[in-house]
C-alpha cells in the first residue's frame, strides 16, 4: 500500500472516531430503559473497538513504511557516496564517422558469336554494386578507412563483401603505415580506381585489372601491412607503396583473410616518379613476389608455384587530357613441372574533356600461357572500348559505351548505358 493511501485511511478513521466520540457521550448520557437502546449501545461500543483496531493496524503499517523508506534512503546515500568509475582522460576530438557511397544502374545489350557457328543475344537492366566508403579520424595521426560492397550477382539474391578495412598511422610525408585488408599496390589502376564505378572514366575495369572473383589474373587484395609515402628527389617527386601480407590461396579468388596456407608471405613494391618539369606526367613500376601453395586436386599442381609479377605504367593526367598505359607480366615457376609459365596483359586508355563531355577510347589485351594450371578457364583476349561520359551533375555521370572483345572461342559485341553516382 502506498503512503498517501495509508494517510487517507488514517484521516478518514480519525474523522469517524471524532464523530462517534461526540455522539457517544450524548448517547450514553441519556437514560435508556428499553432493550433496543441497550443493544444499540453495545453495537456502538463494538464498532468503536473495531475502529480502534483498524487505526492501530494502519499506524503500524505507516511505521513499517517509514522504516522501509528510511532504509532505502540510507542505501541510496551509501551508493552515491561511492565514487563512479571514471574514464581515462581523452585527448583530441571525438571520432567522427564519415560515410560516402557509390552506385550505378545500367542497361546492357550483348551479341555473342561463337566459333562453333552459334550465337546469342541478351539485353537486360542491371543494378550495380552499392559501395559504402567509410572514413574516420581516430587520432591526431591515426585514421580509419573501410569499404563494404553490397553485390547483386547474376544468379540472384545479394551478397556483402568487405573489401577494405585499414587503420593508418601517419608519421610523416615520407612514411605512412597501414594495417588491415586493402588493395595491393601492383598497378596504377588498382591504386587510383577502387570499387566505385563513378570513379572510372569507363563503365568497367580493364581486362588485366578485373577483380579476383571475375576471372582476374592479379592478386588485387591483400591482408597485412602497408607502408608508403613520397619524397622530393632531384627533378621531381618519388612516391612509393609497399605491401607485406598473406599470399594467394590455391585458386585466384581465394583471398586469405584470417589464415595463410603456407609460411611464405607476399611482398611487393610500387613506385611512381613525377618530374617537376612536366606537370601531370608520371612513370613507374612495380614488383611482387609470392609462393602459391600446392593443390593436389588439380593436375600439375602437386608442388608450390613461385609467382613474380612485374608492372610498368606511364600516365598523363592534366585536364583536359587523360592518358594511361600499363602492362603486367605474371611469371609462374611451377615446381611440379619445372616450367616457367608467363602471362602478359595491359591496356592503353585515352580521354579528352570538353565541358561536361568526355569521349574516351581504350585498347585491352591479355595473353595467357595455356600450360599454366593456375588460370583454368581464363581465355586470351583482345579488344577495345569506346564511349562518351557526360556529367549530369557534380556527382552523377551518364556513360554510353560500346565494347568489342575477341576471345579464344567467341567474339563479343556489347553496348551499355550506365548511370553512375556518388553520394
CATH number for the domain spanning 293: value is 2.40.160.10
Residue 211: pLDDT over 90: yes
Residue 388: pLDDT over 60: yes
Does one domain contain both 178 and 259? Answer: yes
Residue 84: pLDDT over 60: no
Beta bridge partners of 193: none
Rounded to an integer, what distance in angstroms lies between the CA atom of residue 194 and that of residue 423?
16
Residue 2: pLDDT over 80: no
pLDDT at 95: 85
Does one domain contain both 189 and 64? Answer: no
Does one domain contain both 122 and 44? Answer: no
Rounded to an integer, what distance in angstroms lies between the CA atom of residue 291 and that of residue 266?
7
pLDDT at 155: 80
Instruction: Tell me if the bond preceding 320 is cis, omega within 30° of 0.
Output: yes
Residue 21: pLDDT over 90: no
Comparing 71-80, 230-239, 277-286, the range with the smallest average pLDDT is 71-80
Q: Which domain holds residue 15?
A: 3-80
Residue 53: pLDDT band with limits 50, 70, 90: confident
Mean pLDDT of 318-344: 97
Final residue before a domain boundary, out of 42, 64, 80: 80
User: Would residue 140 count as lying in a domain?
Assistant: no
**DSSP track, 238-286:** EEEEEEEEE-B-SSTT-B-SS--SSS-EEEEEEEEEEETTSTTEEEEEE
Mean pLDDT of 104-124: 96
Q: Per-residue pLDDT tens for 250-273?
A: 999 999 999 999 999 999 999 999
Residue 31: pLDDT over 90: no
**DSSP track, 135-196:** EEEEETTEEEEEEEEEE--TTSS-EEEEEEEEEEEEEETTEEEEEEEEE-SSSHHHHH--S-
Q: Per-residue pLDDT tens for 166-178?
A: 999 999 999 999 9
User: Would residue 195 count as lying in a domain?
Assistant: yes
pLDDT at 55: 62
Residue 412: pLDDT over 60: yes
Structurally, how many domains does the chain consist of?
A: 2
pLDDT at 49: 74
User: Would residue 153 count as lying in a domain?
Assistant: no
pLDDT at 20: 45
Closest CA to 217 of 253, 262, 269: 253
| Opening angle at CA 68, ends 67 and 72, nearest 5 | 120
Does one domain contain both 114 and 253? Answer: yes
Does one domain contain both 172 and 66? Answer: no
Greatest extent of the chain over all pairs of C-alpha atoms, in Å: 136
Does one domain contain both 43 and 170? Answer: no
Residue 108: pLDDT band with limits 50, 70, 90: very high
pLDDT at 94: 78
- Name the helix (H) or strand (E) containing 236: strand 236-246
pLDDT at 93: 65
User: Would residue 383 count as lying in a domain?
Assistant: yes
Does one domain contain both 265 and 334? Answer: yes
User: Would residue 372 count as lying in a domain?
Assistant: yes
Of 66 and 318, which is predicted with more confidence? 318
Rounded to an integer, what distance in angstroms lies between the CA atom of residue 2 and that of residue 13?
17
Q: Which DSSP category does 293 fall into? A: P
- Distances in whole angstroms, Cα of residue 167 to Cα of each of 36, 98, 132, 143: 99, 15, 17, 6
Q: Which residue has the cell 613506385?
A: 271
For 6-10, which contacts have Cβ atoms below 8 Å and span 24 or more sequence positions?
Answer: 6/58, 6/61, 6/62, 6/65, 7/62, 9/54, 9/58, 10/55, 10/58, 10/59, 10/62
Rounded to an integer, what distance in angstroms lies between the CA atom of residue 344 and that of residue 330?
6
Within 8 A by CB and 6+ apart from 21, the residues are none
Does one domain contain both 359 and 392? Answer: yes
Does one domain contain both 178 and 62? Answer: no
Mean pLDDT of 32-40: 56
pLDDT at 73: 54
Rounded to an integer, what distance in angstroms lies between the CA atom of residue 153 and that of residue 291?
31
User: Would residue 85 count as lying in a domain?
Assistant: no
Q: For residue 143, how many other CB atoms are within 10 A of its CB?
A: 18
- Interstrand relation of 265-275 and 236-246 (parallel, antiparallel or unpaired): antiparallel
Does one domain contain both 250 and 337? Answer: yes
Does one domain contain both 257 and 118? Answer: yes
Does one domain contain both 361 and 321? Answer: yes
User: Would residue 151 count as lying in a domain?
Assistant: no
The percent of residues above 90 in pLDDT, for the chain, comes to 75
Q: Per-residue pLDDT tens for 337-372?
A: 999 999 999 999 999 999 999 999 999 999 999 999
Average pLDDT, the chain: 87
Question: Helix (H, G, I), strand (E, B), or coil: what is residue 114?
Answer: strand
User: Would residue 314 count as lying in a domain?
Assistant: yes
Amino acid at each position: 500500500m502506498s503512503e498517501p493511501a495509508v494517510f487517507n485511511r488514517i484521516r478518514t478513521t480519525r474523522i469517524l472516531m471524532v464523530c462517534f466520540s461526540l455522539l457517544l457521550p450524548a448517547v450514553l448520557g441519556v437514560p435508556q430503559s428499553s432493550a433496543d437502546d441497550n443493544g444499540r449501545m453495545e453495537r456502538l461500543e463494538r464498532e468503536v473497538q473495531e475502529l480502534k483496531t483498524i487505526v492501530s493496524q494502519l499506524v503500524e503499517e505507516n511505521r513499517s513504511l517509514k522504516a522501509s523508506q528510511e532504509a532505502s534512503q540510507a542505501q541510496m546515500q551509501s551508493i552515491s557516496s561511492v565514487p563512479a568509475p571514471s574514464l581515462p582522460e581523452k585527448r583530441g576530438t571525438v571520432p567522427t564517422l564519415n560515410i560516402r557511397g557509390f552506385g550505378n544502374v545500367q542497361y546492357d545489350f550483348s551479341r555473342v558469336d561463337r566459333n562453333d557457328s552459334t550465337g546469342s543475344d541478351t539485353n537486360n537492366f542491371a543494378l550495380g554494386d552499392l559501395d559504402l566508403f567509410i572514413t574516420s579520424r581516430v587520432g591526431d595521426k591515426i585514421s580509419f578507412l573501410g569499404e563494404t560492397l553490397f553485390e547483386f550477382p547474376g544468379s540472384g539474391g545479394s551478397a556483402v563483401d568487405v573489401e577494405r578495412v585499414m587503420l593508418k598511422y601517419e608519421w610523416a610525408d615520407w612514411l605512412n603505415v597501414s594495417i588491415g585488408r586493402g588493395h595491393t599496390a601492383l598497378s596504377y589502376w588498382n591504386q587510383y580506381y577502387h570499387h566505385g564505378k563513378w570513379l572510372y572514366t569507363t563503365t568497367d575495369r580493364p581486362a588485366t585489372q578485373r577483380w579476383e572473383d571475375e576471372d582476374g589474373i592479379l592478386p588485387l587484395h591483400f591482408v597485412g601491412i602497408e607502408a608508403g609515402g613520397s619524397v622530393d628527389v632531384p627533378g621531381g617527386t618519388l612516391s612509393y607503396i609497399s605491401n607485406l601480407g598473406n599470399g594467394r590461396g590455391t585458386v585466384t579468388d581465394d583471398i586469405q583473410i584470417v589464415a595463410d596456407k603456407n609460411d611464405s608471405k607476399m611482398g611487393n613494391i610500387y613506385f611512381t616518379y613525377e618530374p617537376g618539369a612536366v606537370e601531370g606526367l608520371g612513370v613507374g613500376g612495380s614488383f611482387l613476389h609470392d609462393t602459391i601453395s600446392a593443390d593436389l586436386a588439380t593436375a600439375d599442381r602437386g608442388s608450390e608455384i613461385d609467382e613474380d609479377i612485374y608492372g610498368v605504367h606511364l600516365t598523363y593526367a592534366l585536364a583536359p587530357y587523360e592518358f594511361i598505359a600499363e602492362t603486367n607480366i605474371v611469371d609462374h615457376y611451377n615446381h611440379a613441372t619445372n616450367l616457367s609459365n608467363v602471362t602478359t596483359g595491359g591496356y592503353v586508355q585515352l580521354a579528352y574533356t570538353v565541358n561536361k563531355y568526355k569521349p574516351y577510347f581504350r585498347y585491352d589485351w591479355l595473353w595467357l600461357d595455356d600450360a599454366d594450371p593456375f588460370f583454368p578457364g581464363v581465355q586470351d583476349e583482345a579488344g577495345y572500348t569506346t564511349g562518351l561520359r557526360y556529367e549530369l551533375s557534380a556527382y552523377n555521370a551518364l556513360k554510353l559505351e560500346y565494347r568489342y572483345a575477341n576471345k579464344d572461342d567467341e567474339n563479343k559485341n556489347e553496348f551499355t548505358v550506365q548511370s553512375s553516382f556518388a553520394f
